[in-house]
């Protein structure tokens, strides 16, 4: 009844007048504006109103009228002599748009050590975990990406996706064996995570490794330099505020994996006999966001 009563008193061109009063459309935010989509959600539950542009967000007509109503007498008194009368004196400061609370979208980036004799077991576990998480992505709003490192380099096998078919195809074609360029794997996962953050998602890096690097970033063999590079890469990930989970799949808990986890500020988990269910549950339970990358997460 209130809406109908208000509608009978509104000028026919009210919406057109409101559109004419607003600012020109703003330029799109560049890729460096992190989290812009998440901060200005246009869908989800309505949690209030705010000043805004009805060409970019949904106009809340009743809230706009309620804001303008108390000022009508003052604005009519301020009207210039001879100016045509208006039923409503509107100002830009009256316009209210709906404020939404959108659901935060997350991304899990698997970084898998595909080197050495245990690579086939690691890849089987990663494949099962990826498939489980993708099956639940509609509930958790989770995307999945996959990085594998072996030989002298790291490869992005799967950019962020919700496609189970793409994930299976990428995992099935992955070869195994060779050296362990751990630093290259961490940095490749970090690049994906930064891109995910720029798109407004909250990334988590799940690193499956025993931590025993033997290939440096330059591609040269040598354990001392490879471990130094891996620790530097871990500190870079921590400085970026990226949450991480290190899953140690060695037969016995690895000192090297614990050290990398400490440098990374990551949660450390020893799963020498992990199956896909245990791995999926560990990833789902891992803390996310910048606060998770703290020096005491173990």
Higher pLDDT, 70 or 129: 70
Tell me the per-residue pLDDT of 176-234, one tens digit each, with 9 for 90 and over: 778 889 999 999 999 999 999 888 888 999 898 888 899 999 889 999 999 999 999 99
* 101, 136, 157 - which closes a domain: 101
Domain hosting residue 64, numbered range: 2-22+33-101
Tell me the per-residue pLDDT of 282-295, one tens digit each, with 9 for 90 and over: 777 777 765 555 54
8 within a domain of the structure (yes/no): yes
DSSP characters for the chain?
-HHHHHHHTS-TTHHHHHHHHSPPPPPPPPTTSTTHHHHT-SSSEEEEEEE--TTTS-B-HHHHHHHHGGGHHHHHHTSPTTPPP-S----GGG-EEEEEEPPPPEEEEEEEE--STTHHHHHHHHHHHHHHHHHTHHHHTEEEEEEEEETTEEEEEEEEE--HHHHHHHHHT----S---HHHHHHHHHHHHHHHHHTT-EEEEEEEE-----B-TTS-B-HHHHHHHHHHHHHHHHHTT-EEEEEE-SSS--HHHHHHHHHHT-EEEE-TT--HHHHHHHHHHS--SGGG--TT--
Residues 123 and 70 in one domain: no
Residues 16 and 113 in one domain: no
Q: What's the domain count of the chain?
A: 2
28 within a domain of the structure (yes/no): no
Mean of per-residue pLDDT scores for the chain: 77
Residues 138 and 283 in one domain: yes
pLDDT at 32 over 60: no
pTM of this prediction? 0.63
229 within a domain of the structure (yes/no): yes
Least confident segment among 47-51, 169-173, 191-195: 169-173
Residues 227 and 248 in one domain: yes
298 within a domain of the structure (yes/no): no
Residues 230 and 286 in one domain: yes
Residues 151 and 229 in one domain: yes
61 within a domain of the structure (yes/no): yes
139 within a domain of the structure (yes/no): yes
């Amino acid at each position: 009844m209130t809406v109908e009563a208000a509608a009978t008193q509104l000028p026919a061109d009210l919406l057109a007048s409101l559109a004419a009063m607003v600012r020109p459309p703003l330029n799109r935010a560049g890729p460096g504006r992190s989290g812009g989509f998440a901060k200005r959600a246009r869908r989800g539950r309505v949690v209030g109103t705010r000043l805004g542009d009805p060409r970019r967000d949904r106009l809340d007509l009743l809230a706009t009228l309620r804001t303008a109503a108390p000022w009508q007498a003052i604005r009519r008194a301020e009207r210039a002599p001879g100016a045509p009368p208006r039923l409503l004196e509107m100002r830009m400061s009256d316009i209210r748009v709906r404020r939404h609370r959108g659901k935060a979208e997350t991304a899990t980036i698997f970084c898998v050590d595909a080197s050495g004799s245990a690579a086939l077991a690691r890849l089987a576990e990663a494949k099962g975990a990826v498939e489980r998480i993708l099956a639940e992505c509609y509930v958790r709003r989770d995307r999945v990406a996959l990085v594998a490192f072996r030989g002298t380099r790291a490869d992005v096998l799967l950019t962020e996706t919700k496609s189970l078919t793409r994930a299976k195809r990428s995992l099935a074609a992955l070869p195994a064996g060779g050296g362990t360029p751990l630093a290259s794997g961490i940095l490749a996962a970090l690049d994906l995570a930064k891109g995910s953050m720029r798109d407004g998602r909250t990334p988590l890096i799940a690193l499956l490794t025993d931590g025993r690097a033997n290939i440096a970033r330059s591609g040269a063999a040598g354990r001392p330099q490879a471990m130094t590079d891996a620790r530097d890469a871990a500190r870079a990930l921590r400085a970026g505020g990226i949450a991480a989970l290190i899953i140690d799949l060695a037969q016995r808990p690895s000192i090297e994996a614990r050290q990398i986890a400490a440098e990374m500020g990551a949660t450390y988990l020893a799963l020498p006999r992990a199956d896909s269910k245990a791995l999926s549950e560990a990833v789902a339970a891992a803390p996310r966001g910048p606060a998770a990358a703290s020096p005491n997460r173990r």
